[in-house]
Amino acid sequence: MKEIVIATRNQKKLLEIEEILKDINVRITSLKDYPEIPEIVEDGESFDENASKKAKQVATRVSHITIADDSGLEVDFLNGRPGVRSSRFAGDRATMDENITKLLRLLNGVPLEKRIATFRCSIAIADKDGLIKVVNGECPGIIGFECKGSAGFGYDPLFIIPEYGKTFAELGVNIKNKISHRAQALARAKEVIRQLI
């Protein structure tokens, strides 16, 4: 069985990706299975750049097809911030709670209709010879005034999906894994992986 390496150590992200890829006949591993691989600095100017860098560096080390994602939140009122710095919005060692607190502070007093945001995801697929393809997904939403729900991770408790009137964290993984930015990008990545295997 072919091995696909997911270039992440984030357990919640890994579980989400595994769930979406479960119908492909591959053995999924991650960076937790390769502790010797050092942390990869995400210093690109775009989600595509960061995902590509991670996928290529890991694939070169492990000699297996590797997929890496970079994703984040772009808020219209903040001119697209936090963007590629979503996980480091409040500082390089910031916790997610600190990132959320900063986002809410910057949007303090902004009415709901101006809190439009988009979750974006880039997934890069590489093998030991280099980059194969980058695919993308996006999901529009609104930033709430407070955190709601306990499922998901990152900005999920703030990100309201207008059709449902609930945050990703309230909707839970079954719905999120059908409509999210990462689900869309992974659906496209799946087709590439199927061709490769």
Provide the annotated active-site residues. Answer: 70
User: CB 191: neighbour CB atoms within 10 A?
Assistant: 11
Strands (E) in 19-85, as ranges, are: 27-30, 65-75
What residues have CB less than 8 Å from 39, skipping those under 6 apart?
none
Closest CA to 57 of 13, 7, 4: 7
**Helix boundaries (H) for 37-91:** 47-62
